[in-house]
């Protein structure tokens, strides 16, 4: 049984409350503060004084109010029913709260994160008398049409199964198995708690070698990320961070999506909450919500709950990783989380570092991104967590602390460009400022599809880099002053931007581009560059090549050819080669 500690409030500073008399309480334990029993978490202990950050609006709180704690760490309830649910930062289900108190959450209201009355069809997969340990498979529950929920023994528990419930329907509060641990009896249910700030243990970490396919060409081909990897999406206001994360959440090939709206504007989160239930997963024809968990903590919600929301989300992700699933975590945005950290640190009197952020900002970011990875789970399965965090630097300044610290801990950096966004070029990912460190890790996967993938990718990337250099010259002397071969580089780079890098999320054929279609488009673009450059070096003008009707058709390939009709791209490439070969090269003196 948990210990009960009681005390009194002695000072209130915004969401930071000081209390005394709480004997036996520890760091990160949950405390209930005031007559409304507002949830809070212990963040500092100073002799007899306990400092608590309160996760709810504590207007009206005063010295002398009672504080109680069961001396348990802040935890989330993990079990069937998470999928398809929408939570706030401290795992209160928003749909249930809306039914109880309308559009505005009342102070001190509590509700179970999972439906306690719902019965789940449990199928036992272990026998009494079996020796089990943390991570062992006990049974299965069909959580949604897309997710088979594996009931695992929680980490840190081991012993002999003394009983297991027969197949049938059970609630999350009913006992489904018992365990003799050697020091007592453990009663297992379909759901259990886990502290959000403690990473769930796993077996060995594995090297990321499988790409996270997103359907976004500039990401998959030029700046890919591996499953189990980490990425940042920094960009100023209006550059499309949220929309890019929406596209990744909709189309990436992860088994489970955990979307964390951390401190974002209410209208943006409303769009997510209304769109996702209606979206259909093209891979299986089922609603996307059937493999999605959402954490919605908007900018008008209490600051401390924003700080803890990313830990709530990544703990849920680890829970499904342990079942052997690939999970993608979308954190939008870590800048709002860092701002909450800064506000709390200033109220605690911590020494400010650069731009007022606490000196431990980098440590906290590292702890978050370290929870990504591809692992062998305790049950022997393989699972992974990919973390993609949006960063909102003020004024688009990538030298500010959150962006700089994040770039130290991620291996993929998708920098959004304001100029591209203003030109309606989406995704507005800069091919000059972005980078990835996963090319060598996932190269083998792509080469199994096409052994020329890396060389072709690098060839097109070199064209874009050369175009960036030449654009500086063009600004000074104009494009007509360049030799024909460099003018052709400019033409091909513009074609690559329009045909490959720009993508229309509202186009039924272009919103998701399969790896096979991407490879076909790459070969077509390389064909245009190589054959055309030979003709230009032989004396043909760039205008002669650009004026060909078959060349003008290339920009329509992405929107007119679906992922199931990619053989049509081969037919087009053949026509392109024939059209270029038919061009007459001028002879000397002509």
- Backbone CA torsion sign across 142, 76, 318, 245: positive
Alpha-carbon gap, residue 265 to 166, rounded angstroms? 47
Residues 6+ apart with CB under 8 A from 163: 128, 177, 178
Is 2.40.30.20 the CATH classification of the domain at 5-72?
yes
Output the 3-class SS for 60-85. CCCCCCEEEECCCECEEEECCCCCCC
pLDDT at position 588 is: 58
Predicted local distance difference test score (pLDDT) of residue 495: 97
Query: CA of 318: how far to CAs of 271, 326, 368, 375, 420, in Å?
Result: 26, 10, 12, 11, 36
Q: For residues 19 and 7, is the Cβ–Cβ distance under 8 A?
A: yes
Q: What is the assigned CATH class of domain 205-416?
A: alpha beta
| Domain definitions of the chain by residue range | 5-72, 119-190, 205-416, 449-581
Average pLDDT over residues 183-189: 92
Distance CA 282, CA 303 (A): 37
Q: Over range 202-206, report the average pLDDT.
A: 93
- Through-space distance between the first and last CA atoms of the chain, rounded to whole angstroms: 97
What residues pair up with 226 in beta bridges, in sequence order? 211
Please determine whether the domains at 5-72 and 449-581 fall in the same fold group of CATH: no
Length of the chain: 590
pLDDT band at 2 (very low <50, low <70, confident <90, very high): low
Which pLDDT does position 105 carry in this prediction?
77
Name the H helices within 389-514: 401-409, 418-422, 439-449, 453-477, 484-496
Query: Which tokens is 388 given?
Result: 């993609």
Q: What is the pLDDT of residues 157-174, one digit of tens each?
A: 999 999 999 999 999 999
Cα(120)–Cα(140) distance, integer angstroms: 10
* pTM of this structure: 0.94
Fold for domain 449-581? 1.10.1140
| pLDDT tens track for 89-136 | 889 898 888 888 877 777 878 889 999 999 999 999 999 999 999 999
Characterize the bridge pairing of strands 192-195 and 75-78.
Answer: antiparallel
- The Cα–Cα gap between 488 and 162 comes to 75
Place of tokens 């297991």: 164
Fold type of domain 119-190: OB fold (Dihydrolipoamide Acetyltransferase, E2P) (2.40.50)
- What does the alpha-carbon distance between residue 96 and residue 94 come to, in Å, rounded to a whole number? 5
């Amino acid at each position: 049984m948990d210990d009960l500690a009681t005390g009194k409030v002695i000072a209130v500073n915004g969401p930071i409350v000081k209390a005394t008399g709480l004997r036996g309480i520890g760091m990160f334990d949950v405390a209930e503060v005031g007559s409304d029993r507002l949830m809070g978490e212990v963040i500092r202990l100073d002799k007899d004084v306990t400092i608590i950050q309160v996760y709810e609006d504590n207007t009206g709180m005063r010295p002398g109010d009672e504080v109680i704690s069961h001396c348990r760490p802040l935890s989330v309830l993990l079990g069937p029913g998470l999928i398809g649910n929408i939570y706030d930062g401290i795992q209160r289900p928003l749909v249930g709260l809306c039914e109880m108190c309308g559009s505005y959450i009342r102070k001190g209201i509590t509700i179970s994160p999972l439906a306690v009355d719902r019965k789940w069809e449990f199928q036992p997969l272990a026998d009494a008398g079996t020796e089990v340990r943390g991570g062992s498979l006990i049974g299965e529950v069909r959580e949604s049409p897309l997710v088979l929920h594996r009931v695992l023994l929680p980490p840190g528990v081991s012993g002999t199964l003394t009983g297991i419930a027969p197949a049938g329907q059970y609630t999350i509060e009913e006992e489904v198995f018992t365990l003799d641990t050697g020091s007592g009896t453990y009663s297992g249910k379909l759901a259990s708690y886990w502290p959000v700030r403690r990473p769930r243990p796993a077996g060995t970490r594995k090297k990321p070698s499988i790409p996270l396919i997103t359907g976004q060409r500039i990401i998959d081909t030029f700046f890919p990320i591996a499953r189990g990897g980490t990425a940042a999406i920094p960009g100023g206001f209006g550059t499309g961070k949220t929309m890019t994360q929406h596209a990744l959440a909709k189309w990436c090939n992860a088994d489970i999506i955990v979307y964390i709206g951390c401190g974002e504007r209410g209208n943006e989160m409303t769009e997510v909450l209304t769109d996702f239930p209606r979206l259909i997963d093209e891979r299986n024809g089922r609603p996307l919500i059937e493999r999605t968990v959402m954490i919605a903590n908007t900018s008008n919600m209490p600051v401390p709950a924003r700080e803890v929301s990313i830990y709530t989300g990544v703990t849920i992700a680890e829970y499904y990783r342990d079942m052997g699933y690939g999970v993608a975590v979308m954190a939008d945005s870590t800048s709002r989380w860092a701002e909450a950290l800064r506000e709390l640190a200033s109220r605690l009197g911590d020494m400010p570092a650069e731009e007022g952020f606490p000196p431990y900002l980098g440590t906290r970011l590292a702890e978050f991104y370290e929870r990504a990875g591809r692992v062998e789970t305790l049950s022997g399965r393989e699972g992974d967590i990919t973390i993609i965090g949006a960063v909102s630097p003020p004024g688009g300044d990538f030298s500010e602390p959150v962006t700089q610290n994040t770039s130290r801990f991620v291996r993929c950096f998708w920098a959004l460009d304001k100029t591209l966004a203003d030109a309606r070029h989406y995704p507005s990912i800069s091919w000059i400022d972005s980078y990835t460190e996963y090319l060598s890790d996932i190269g083998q996967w792509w080469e199994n599809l096409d052994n020329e993938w890396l060389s072709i990718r690098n060839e097109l990337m070199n064209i874009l880099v050369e175009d960036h250099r030449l654009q500086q010259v063009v600004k000074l002397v104009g494009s007509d002053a360049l030799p024909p071969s460099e003018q052709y580089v400019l033409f091909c780079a513009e074609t690559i931007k329009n045909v490959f890098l720009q993508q229309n999320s509202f186009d039924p054929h272009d919103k998701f581009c399969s790896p096979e279609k991407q490879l076909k488009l790459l070969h077509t673009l390389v064909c245009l560059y190589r054959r055309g450059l030979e003709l230009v070096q032989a004396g043909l003008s760039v205008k002669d090549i650009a004026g060909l009707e078959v060349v003008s058709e290339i920009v329509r390939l992405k929107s007119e050819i679906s992922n199931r009709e990619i053989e049509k791209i081969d037919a087009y490439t053949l026509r392109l080669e024939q059209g270029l070969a038919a061009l007459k090269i001028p002879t000397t003196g002509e």
